[in-house]
Each structure stands twice: as structure tokens, then as C-alpha cells.
A and B are shown apart, each in its own frame.
Chain A
Amino acid sequence: MTPEYFRWAERLFDLTGAALKPEALAGIRVLDLSVIILGPATADFLGELGAEVIKIEMPGHGDVTRILGDRSFFWKNVGVAFFGMNHSKYHVGLDMHAPAGQEVIRKLTARSDIVVENFKAGTLEEKFGLGYRQLREVNPRLIYVANTGFGQWGPFSRGRASYDGLAQSVSGLTAITGDGEIPTRSGNYIGDWFGACLSALGALAALHWRERTGEGQFVEMAQCEGLVRAMDWTWLYAGLTGRDRPKTGNRDPVFPTSGVFRCADGYVALVAGTDAEFRALCRLLGRPGLTKDRRFSSAAARRAPASAGALDRLIADWCAGKSRAEIERRARAARVAAAPVMTAKDHYESAHFRARRSVWEHEDPVYGPMVEYGPAPKLSATPARIKWAGKPVGFHNEFVLKKVLGLGDDEILDLERAGVIGKWADRLGAKPPDDWPARAFIQ
């Protein structure tokens, strides 16, 4: 491709002045009533695209993710696992068990566009009087997004709680992963994050409909079903054959010349998916004659277990002793798809991901310099962004109640005295850093 295209793309997506560009979802307000990952990430993704997100937490302790992890996770009094799904939110500590707290939620809902929750099915309606049927009374244009494990109805929807790991297990995803007897869970909480992406997408489809008609609606996304829907040909195969697709470990069954190979400083993944890529691979391995070897001369021949195994050994031998960088450089020159298995350190040091701000450095008024994973999609006119990091419980109580509900200081004080709203308890996860000078506190 022409270098000129890439120079143009650099200019088009230039992120140096991103903060001054408009935001796609500016003017949309999201009320986030959720905890842990699935719900908070749904709201977070909308926030990255420009929505204003108000996160409601119990006064005192707040969201449980604030205190997850072993000792090494704690940084400035909070577990690092809290930040990834709580960017640029306004943090309100509010007790939804109190009738006056429920009244505040109703008032906030009346002035919001989207509510996100991940309680067990029916809980908000039955326990808090804040279900979809109640909240749409105060806001008929409301888009209400409910995330669960198993859905709002159906045999598993009552009494069965879910986490990402369970979704991986019951969906069948774990059963098609790896090749040994011991099951392998995805190393991250894939069902939560991917489910949150689907949820945010569903919310925006509903927003599109609302802009056309003025009608709000209820949108539900069940985490287990999100993973069921992300297993490509698994179900079609089971339907046609009555069998489970075989486990193939690190070999992609559709592109059998593929795998993860050890090298001098870690691992690389390599795929030769087309005949042209296979020819390029043979040249890369210094064995151009292999393309004429009848064991490898067609895609069908390369699928045979003996051929695939022989190729694996050739690739493994070639990789052994080389660095990831050397393999990547030579594979690129040869037009073979090979990629280093990257670590967090590699991400941190990657000029490429820094330039794209997928590794995002920012200076937070409370936590100081931070480096986090930045928004995934790059929008040329309305770049997604991180504005600030997650904050202690109740950090923005006054700001939100004044700006959104127009309450005065005395009314806010009354709510606080009644225990309806509150800030952080003096405990890890909930409170600000010890040396925090309180200068960034918005009243």
C-alpha cells in the first residue's frame, strides 16, 4: 500500500488534540446501578464514547471490586482491578434500601437516558421498587439495560447466580478450549467484557430507535448467552453431526498450519491460512521445496495429522532460539502472519499501542499518573477517551445532586444526616489515597 495512505490516516486519527474534539454520545446520561464488571463495563464503554455516567454505590464500602485481589493489587488504597470498568464516572454513594434513596434514583432516572443494572432478575422491582416497570413511569423514553447470567426468565433465571467463569463453563466455551483433561478458563473475565460490549451495543440500537420514534424500551443481555453466541461454527456442527467439535489445542482447526511456538524470549503465534501464506512460510523456514512435497502440497494434505505434526516440528525448530522480535520481523518481510505473545510489559513499552492510545497515559487529579488500557475503537471525528480514573465512594455526591437534581446544600446535608447518601468508609478500596490533599474535590 502507498505510504501516502498511512500518512493520511495518521493525520485523520491524530490523537494529540483528542480532548478538544467532540464526543459521539455527548448529552446522553447513563445511570449505572451495577457492580463488579459486566454492568459497570457496559456503562464504561458508553462513557468512553462520550456519555455522562453516574455510578451509584452503597455508602461506605462501595463496589466490591474496590477490594479484590491479593496485597500486591493495592495501590493508593484501592485495588487496581477497580479502574478498568470505572473511568470518567461520577461517583455517588447512595443507599437504595432507604425509601428516600429510591426517590433520588427515580429523580435521577427522570433526567437520564439509559439505566444499566446487573442485579438478579426481578430484584430491583421486588426489593427496591426500581424495576423497569416503575422507572419507565417516571421516564417513558427510558432505555433500561439489564445484565444477568441466565436472563430475566426461563428455568435457570431464578435463584441461579452467575459469574464470567460460570458462563465460560456452561456455555460450552471451556469444553472447546485447550486439549488436555484439566479445563482452561480464559485468563481474563471474557464473558463479562464481551457481554458488556454486546450490552452497550444493544443500548445504542435502542437509542437509535428512540431517536426515530421517541420510544424507550427494556434491553436484556445474559452473559452465558453472550458466550453461546460467540462460538462460531460450534452449534451448526453439533446440529449436523450430533457431535461436539473436537478440541484442537492451539491449532486453529480451520487453518491447520497454525500454533503457538516457544522461542528464546517467550512465545509466538503463527498462522499460514492460505496457499500463498503457506508458500511464504516455506520460504521463511528456508525450505521452499516443501510446497512440492506431497504431504504439504495442498491444504487438504496439510490437514492430515501427520503432515500438521511435521509442520509443527519444523516451525518449532525454526522458532527455537530466535527472539520474538526477530521472528516477527522476518515473518512480516515474508508476509506470514506471526505475532509475539505479548505481556503487559510489552503493551506498556509498545510505541504502536502508545501512539494509538490503546495504552493510555493520563494524569488523574487524585491518583496521579496512570497507564491503563484505552478505548478500543478509534473514531476519527469523535475520538473515544478516558477523562479521569475511578474515584472513592461518594466522591461526586454534591456535584451530581446539585448539577443534575438542582438540590441545595441544606437538602444534601439532610440526605447525608439521614444516611441516605454518604461517602467512603475508612477502609481499603473505598477511601482516597493517604496523601490525597483534597484539592480536586468538586463541591
Chain B
Amino acid sequence: MPSSSSSDWSDWIRREEDPARVSEKPEALDDLVVLDLSHAHYGALLASTYLAELGAEVVKVEPPEGDPARSWGPPDVALRGEGLAFAAEARNRYHITLNLTSRAGRSLLRGLAARADVLVEGFRPGYLDSLGLGYRQLARLNPRLIWVACSAYGQFGPQAANQPAEYDLTDQALSGLLHISGDPEAAPTRLGSWITSYAQAAWAAMAVLAALHWRRRSGRGQMIDVSGAEAVMRYLEYSVLLYHTAKQVRGRTGLYERAVFPYTFVRVKDGFGFIAGYTDQNFGAICRIMGRPELARDPRFDSTLQRTRPENEVLLRDEIEKWSVNYTADEILDKVLADRGPGVVVFGPLNSPTRTLGEAHWWERGCFRRIADPLYGEMLVSMPVWRMTRTPPRLKWPCRPRGYHNGHVYGARLGVGPGRLDELRNQGVL
């Protein structure tokens, strides 16, 4: 019983999600206070970012000399002194400084934690505990506190003690992602962005919200432990089950793919494109679009079991490439979109970032925005990922210098006035 035409739905949902009207709506998490104690830790920084985008009041606590992550970025360009990696993701926060190794500093942190809902940290496991600022100490002040600790190996288990600093590359290794990425004849290939940090952050923020749900019923907070290695290990599909059932070690397959095929990059006239259509019907559509309907009936390719035989994958990819090299990516996409079915073919160009930025789709949907920040100037930023009809997430400000909000936060949250603030600054506490 369809009740409306197709344009109806997209028009309606477009209006409901209109990026230009986000500020007219409330924020899902604006009743929460989060302490961001991320220190040289991108995953913990990002976890706080997600909560901040969704409306939480996030106070980032940095040592007087600043978070070392402020210098993280490419070597050739910085943004008024901040590394681009930091400037890209330190959004919507109140930035304060605090020396946790001083007695007065620890006392101020306890004051902040006593009335916070969430604390996010990425120190070496046990470090805050050794300062008397661990979960077990702060939970005595605030039993409702939800504490998220991010690290490479986690807070418990045989390898937890004495673990090294956490980096995306070492997490990619431990997670198993590296071992299955790249060409089988070559070394494993690192995924180009700090994907393990994003994964760790998404799990951390998700677990925080689940813990909040439980707190609402139980009145109790808890501690959450998120390993960056495990964050992506959980994304490795069947790898460990396949070892359990068949003692097979999943390896690298490069342009090929064991579970589904075609699902690969092929050369096109102007670079590469990605093409997929792995069910019988969808593969039939690829063959039809290529003008090779007989391939769909070829006994080497006529079922998913046949198409995923390693030797047949190579043959099939070659057949597709013989055709695809004759057209540009745009021409192939036109052919794919003009096909009326049955079956669905997935195709798109291999975009460089600047080519992605040239596509109107992302701009219309508000994925990117150019902002003119009063402190940092012109910035091209990527926007929060969720569209929510009632409580859309948002970007309020991209980043602020260290200690920028000391006056506001210490005044509003702890009643520390300007005179006392100066004393604390002179004593090296702030």
C-alpha cells in the first residue's frame, strides 16, 4: 500500500534533514558533561568528538604545555600552529589546561569529575590510577561516572601490563587487518587513514551510550575498556571462525576476494573503477551491460561458487577489464545507471580526495563545509556523519588553543574566579 510517490519521500526527508536548519533543532546529548582526558591519543580524542557532535558538553583537559596531539599532522602544512590531524577533529570542545602531576591539579580534576557523566582517556593503562585519579578512586566520588579507557591491548589480560604506546599502524597489525590487506606476493598494506582510531572511538562512544541507558535504570556508572586492536579485529568477519572450522588462515587477496566476485577494481580509460555484482542476477546485469550475456551462462562463471574459485576470479576480472578500458569511469557509470534491470550493478570511480570534493552530491548533503573560523581562518571540514530528523548532530567550532576556556570552565563549574586562576597559572597548575 504505497502511500506516496518516490519524489515525495526524498523531498520530505530532505526537508526534515535540511543541513541548513540544523541549529533550529535540539541536541540529543546536551544533558551530558564529558571530560576528555585524551593525551597523545587520537582514538580517545575522537570518542569525545562523536559525543560533542551529538550535543554533549565536552571539556578537554590538557597539560599546561598542551596535548602532544596538537602537533600531529602532515609535515608541510599546519593551521596557525596546530597540526592538521588535531585541528580536523578537536571540535566543539571547551579547552582547559591542568597539571595532573600537581596536588592542586589533581584536586581540581576531582572537582570536575565529581559532576561529570563521562570521562574518556587514552593514557597508558594504570597511569591515572597511579596518580590517584583512576576509575576506582573517582568512582568513589561519583558512582554514576562512566569511564572509558582506550589503549592498544586493553586494561586486563596477560598482555595488558607494560604495553607500548598505541599507534594506528601497530593496531592495524594486531587487529589482523594488515595481514589480509594488499597483494599476496607483497608486504601487507596499511590502510591510509587512522582507521583503527575511528573504530575505537565509535565503539567507545557506543558503549558509553549503552552504559548511560543502564545507568538510567540502575543509578550506577561503570568502566569501559576499548582496545584499538580489538576495535578492528571485530570487523574481520569470518577470519577466526574459518580457522576454527577449516584451519584455513585468511590471507591477502589483492584485487580478488574470497567471499564474493566480481567485487574488484578494474582499469578504465581514465584510471580505475570499482565494480561489483556477485549474485547471479547482479552478475547477469554486468554481463548485459558489457554486451556479453553469454558470460553469465559460461560454466566457469554461472554460480557464486564458480565465480569465487580463485582461478576463475582472475579470468573473470580480465574479461571485465577488456571491456572497461574502453570507457571512462563516467561513461561506465552512465551505462550502469541506464540499465533497467533485472539486477543491480555497483560501480564508481576510484576517486582521489580532490575528485571526491568535486562531486556535488557530498556538498548538497552537507558532508563538507568551508568555514571561516575567527581564530583559525578558512577551513574545509568534514561534517558529522549522522542525519537525524529530531536531534541532528552539528559542528559548532573546529578547535581552540590550549587553555582557551579556562576562565569559563573553572568559573562556571568550580567557582574559581580570575584572581585564583592567575595564582594557579603562576604555580604551574593551569
Would you list which residues of chain A between 206 and 252 have a CB under 8 Å from chain B? 206-209, 211-212, 215-222, 225-226, 228-245, 247, 249-250, 252
7 closest cross-chain pairs (CB), A and B = A239-B380, A1-B126, A187-B180, A176-B192, A193-B235, A204-B209, A217-B390
CB of A289 to closest CB in B, whole Å? 23
Most buried by A among B1, B344, B356: B356
Would you list which residues of chain B between 286 and 331 have a CB under 8 Å from chain A? 304-305, 308-310
B304 touches A233 (CB 8 A): no
Task: Report the stretch among A73-81, A89-97, A397-405, A408-416 that lies at the interface.
Answer: A73-81
* A interface residues, how many (CB within 8 angstroms): 184
Cross-chain contact of B385 among A129, A157, A198, A341 (Cβ < 8 A): A198
Chain B interface mostly:
mixed
Q: Does B227 contact A (CB under 8 A)?
A: yes
Q: Does A345 contact B (CB under 8 A)?
A: yes
Cross-chain contact of B360 among A155, A160, A162, A176 (Cβ < 8 A): A155
19 contacts between A and B (CB under 8 A): A1-B130, A8-B129, A122-B10, A171-B356, A188-B235, A190-B195, A194-B198, A206-B388, A208-B29, A208-B209, A212-B31, A217-B391, A222-B365, A225-B362, A225-B385, A236-B380, A239-B378, A356-B154, A376-B227
Q: Does A297 contact B (CB under 8 A)?
A: no
Q: How far is the CA of A405 from the CA of B360 in the complex (A)?
A: 46
Task: Report the stretch among A52-60, A146-154, A418-426, A435-443 that lies at the interface.
Answer: A146-154
Given contacts A162-B348, A240-B77, 12 further A-B contacts (CB under 8 A): A73-B259, A166-B276, A177-B191, A182-B254, A207-B213, A232-B88, A235-B353, A236-B84, A241-B76, A252-B167, A260-B178, A371-B240
A377 touches B209 (CB 8 A): no
Q: How far is the CA of A169 from the CA of B390 in the complex (A)?
A: 31
- Interface flags for A388-399 (1: CB within 8 Å of B; 0: not) read 000000000000
Q: Does B142 contact A (CB under 8 A)?
A: no
Cross-chain contact of A25 among B9, B213, B233, B346 (Cβ < 8 A): B213
Q: Does B158 contact A (CB under 8 A)?
A: yes
B176 touches A240 (CB 8 A): no
Q: How far is the CA of A260 from the CA of B401 in the complex (A)?
A: 35
Most buried by A among B129, B204, B235: B235
B276 touches A3 (CB 8 A): no
**Given known contacts A171-B351, A236-B88, A341-B188, A378 and B224 CB-to-CB distance under 8 angstroms:** yes
**Given known contacts A73-B258, A344-B176, A197 and B238 CB-to-CB distance under 8 angstroms:** no
A80 touches B2 (CB 8 A): no
In the bound complex, residues from chain A placing their C-beta under 8 Å from that of B367 are: 225, 228-229
- Interface flags for A338-356 (1: CB within 8 Å of B; 0: not) read 1111111111100111011
Residue of B nearest to A27 (CB): B217
Q: How far is the CA of A117 from the CA of B36 in the complex (A)?
A: 33
B195 touches A194 (CB 8 A): yes
- Interface flags for B104-124 (1: CB within 8 Å of A; 0: not) read 000000000000000000001
B1 touches A230 (CB 8 A): no
Most buried by A among B50, B125, B165, B213: B213
**Given known contacts A84-B241, A219-B387, A249 and B258 CB-to-CB distance under 8 angstroms:** no
Q: Does B57 contact A (CB under 8 A)?
A: no
Q: Does B413 contact A (CB under 8 A)?
A: no
Q: Does B212 contact A (CB under 8 A)?
A: yes
Residue of A nearest to B180 (CB): A187
Chain A interface mostly:
mixed
Q: Does B425 contact A (CB under 8 A)?
A: no
Q: Does A332 contact B (CB under 8 A)?
A: yes
Cross-chain contact of B242 among A174, A339, A344 (Cβ < 8 A): A344
B181 touches A182 (CB 8 A): no
**Given known contacts A175-B350, A254-B74, A165 and B246 CB-to-CB distance under 8 angstroms:** no
Would you list which residues of chain A between 164 and 209 have a CB under 8 Å from chain B? 165-166, 168-178, 182-190, 193-194, 197-198, 200-202, 204-209
A379 touches B224 (CB 8 A): yes
B10 touches A373 (CB 8 A): no
In the bound complex, residues from chain A placing their C-beta under 8 Å from that of B209 are: 201, 204-205, 207-208
Cross-chain contact of B214 among A178, A229, A382 (Cβ < 8 A): A382
CB of B175 to closest CB in A, whole Å? 7
In the bound complex, residues from chain B placing their C-beta under 8 Å from that of A238 are: 353-354, 357, 380
- Interface flags for A287-315 (1: CB within 8 Å of B; 0: not) read 00000000000001001000000000000
In the bound complex, residues from chain A placing their C-beta under 8 Å from that of B220 are: 381
Q: Does B136 contact A (CB under 8 A)?
A: yes
Q: Does B389 contact A (CB under 8 A)?
A: yes
In the bound complex, residues from chain A placing their C-beta under 8 Å from that of B223 are: 12-13, 379-380
Most buried by A among B85, B211, B337, B388: B388
B259 touches A229 (CB 8 A): no
B126 touches A166 (CB 8 A): no
A220 touches B382 (CB 8 A): no
**Given known contacts A209-B390, A331-B164, A341-B173, A188 and B180 CB-to-CB distance under 8 angstroms:** yes
Q: How far is the CA of A215 from the CA of B26 in the complex (A)?
A: 12
Q: Does A70 contact B (CB under 8 A)?
A: yes
Q: How far is the CA of A8 from the CA of B40 in the complex (A)?
A: 25
